[in-house]
A = this chain, B = another copy of it.
Amino acid sequence: MPSRETNPSFMSGVPELLLLSLLQDNEMYGYELVQAVQERTGSAITLGEGVIYPVLHALERDGALAARRKTVNGRSRVYYKATEIGTRRFAAVKADWGRITNAISIVLRGAEHGFSV
């Protein structure tokens, strides 16, 4: 819980954004998520397990994700999916991300752009 008053979450919170997005439609487990991110981004982004599990746990603690244990081929997996809270949280985080990237692209573009506030 970042108690930030200025920038929404700036550039941090990307792992959360990504995981929330993936778990919006699908039910997936940690190890699978690590690979999914890498595959879908063409290796542009690699989220290590050390990053993913803590985020998953925090999200679950906040009620944004629901977890259930399932054994497949003798393998114990923890499947996660977004709850209603998670869906709302995703919308919020995504909106923040959009605002930030948009703002940055304006600066990158040079200037003389309308910022109607």
A residues in contact (CB < 8 Å) with B? 6-7, 10-14, 17-18, 21-22, 25, 37, 39-46, 48, 94, 97, 99-104, 106-108, 110-111, 113, 115-117
Contacts and interface: CB of A to CB of B under 8 A. Distances in A.
A104 B102 CA distance: 14
Give the copy number: 2
Contact of A41 (B25, B97, B107): B107
The list of the 10 closest CB pairs from A to B, nearest first, reads: A11-B11, A41-B103, A42-B115, A44-B103, A42-B117, A6-B46, A11-B14, A45-B103, A44-B99, A40-B107
A50 to B, nearest CB: 11
Contacts of A104: 14, 17-18, 41, 45, 97
A40 B115 contact: yes
A25 to B, nearest CB: 7
A46 to B, nearest CB: 5
Given A43-B117, A103-B42, A104-B18, A10 B7 contact: no
A73 B16 CA distance: 48
A1 to B, nearest CB: 18
A22 B97 contact: no
